[in-house]
Amino acid sequence: MMIRLVCSIVLVLSILDQCVHAQKVKIKKGVENDSQKDQKTALKRGDDNSCNCAGVRCGISNREGRVVGGKPTGQTEYPWAAALSYRGKLYCGATLVTNEHLVTAAHCISGITKSRVEIVMGSYNKSDTSEPSRREHKVKEWWAHPDFNRRTFNNDIGIIRLDKKVDFDHFVRPVCISEANPRSTFIGEKGIVIGWGRQDENGVPSDVLREVRVPIMSNDECKTKNYKPKEITDNMMCAGFDAGKIDACQGDSGGPLLLEKQTSGGTPQIDLIGVVSWGQGCARARYPGVYTRISRYTEFINSKLSNGCKCPRS
């Protein structure tokens, strides 16, 4: 199994094993008056005023004409894309879902010293530190899924809380979290994967954000490919072409598998449906990319977003 971290730092990371402690649940004391209750309801609903969404809707890309698989994205096309670096080197991706939380893969955070991790958002060319839209953050806290299995990569999902809240603007905005039920298959749909990862198995990470479009297959079909059937659990989903060639690769781990939908208003709206998790090599024939299936983790995700502000859908 090849995980989609940039390999050169995997060795460094694996010796820094540390537990991710379960968060203590804070029990709120005292009685709330009506205005406090209203404010809390507003936060849950993602209302503009209390959330500082300022009219921002989730999942709206800044698309400048259509792009095809394997091409650089438009400059700020996916304003929820985040790059995780460890001591200055990109190693994973993540996706902004509220004004202070990102979804990533458990293997991007489990056993890693969070004080050494830096998060870059609002960036297109991650090597260009002079980009005016670029924002750097540190990690306040993070949670790998408690049932993440390092050997099988089952439950490969985690949540990062940023050191400070993000002000949404044209360059930094959240994606929508899929509301699909846990049984949704997405079979035959084309997913969009974005990342600054390697462009091939032996390449170097990309300076600029790139995207590929990959067809999603059923888990039954995935089990007929070159993986062992038991490697593909119900918490995973597979996407890719039989001939390979287009896939996520190292450095893309933790980044999103996105699904674009037309809204009734005609604006495309983008949902997070998967997290880049693992694959055998990159873009090898009959080894599709394997993604964590977001719809299985609604409860886990919501339990960690606490007061984070999700912006409403269009």
Ligand X SMILES: *[C@@H]1O[C@H](CO)[C@@H](O)[C@H](O)[C@H]1NC(C)=O
With CB under 6 A as the contact rule, the residue among 125, 185, 199, 306 that binds ligand X is 125
At position 126, the amino acid (one-letter code) is: K
Shortest distance (Å) from residue 73 CB to ligand X? 12
CA distance 112 to 109: 5
Kindly state whether residue 208 participates in binding ligand X, applying the rule CB under 6 A: yes
Q: How far apart are CA 74 and CA 63, in angstroms?
A: 7
The C-alpha atoms of residue 106 and residue 123 are separated, in whole angstroms, by 23
Binding range to ligand X, per CB under 6 A, among 28-36, 221-229, 252-260, 305-313:
28-36
Q: How open is the CA angle 216-206-110, to the nearest 5 degrees?
A: 70
Q: Which is nearer to ligand X, 212 or 217 (CB)?
A: 212
Residue 204 half-sphere exposure, CB side, CA atoms within 13 Å? 4
Q: Which of 11, 29, 35, 66 binds ligand X (CB under 6 A)?
A: 35
Q: Which of 207, 281, 286, 298 binds ligand X (CB under 6 A)?
A: 207
Window 273-312: residues binding ligand X (CB under 6 A): none
Active site residues: 107, 156, 253
Pick the stretch among 97-105, 111-119, 124-132, 281-289 that binds ligand X (CB under 6 A). Answer: 124-132
Applying CB under 6 A, the span of 21-29, 43-51, 122-130, 166-174 interacting with ligand X comes to 122-130
In three-state form (DSSP H/G/I as H, E/B as E, the rest C), the secondary structure along 153-168 is: CCCCCEEEEECCCCCC
Q: Does 36 bind ligand X (CB under 6 A)?
A: yes
Between 180 and 208, CB nearer to ligand X = 208
- Collapsing DSSP to helix, strand or coil, 198 comes out as strand
Q: Judge whether 265 and 284 are in contact, CB under 8 Å.
A: no
Spatial CA neighbour of 192 closest among 76, 56, 78: 78
By the rule CB under 6 A, 128 interacts with ligand X: yes
Residue 205 or 279 having the CB closest to ligand X = 205
CB of 75 to ligand X, least distance (A): 11
User: Between residues 47 and 207, which has the closer beta carbon with respect to ligand X?
Assistant: 207
Shortest Å, Cβ 64 to ligand X = 16
Residue count, binding to ligand X (CB under 6 A): 9
* Choices 32-40, 159-167, 238-246, 255-263 (CB under 6 A): range interacting with ligand X: 32-40
Question: Given the complex with ligand X, which of 52 and 75 has the nearer CB atom?
Answer: 75
Instruction: Choose among 238, 314, 255, 277: nearest CA to 73.
Output: 255
Q: Of 24, 25, 30, 33, which one interacts with ligand X (CB under 6 A)?
A: 33
Please give the torsion angle defined by the CA atoms of residues 103, 172, 249 and 237, in that order, rounded to the nearest 10 degrees: 40
Pick from 23, 41, 127, 202 the residue near ligand X by CB under 6 A: 127
The span from the first CA to the last CA of the chain, in angstroms, equals 40
Instruction: Kindly tell me which of 34 and 299 has the beta carbon lying closer to ligand X.
Output: 34
Strand 190-195 and strand 210-217: pairing? antiparallel
The two three-digit tokens of residue 279, written as one number: 């694959």
The four Cα atoms 84, 87, 89, 91 give a dihedral, to 10 degrees, of -40
Residue 143 β-bridge partners: 159
Positions that interact with ligand X (CB under 6 A): 33-36, 125, 127-128, 207-208
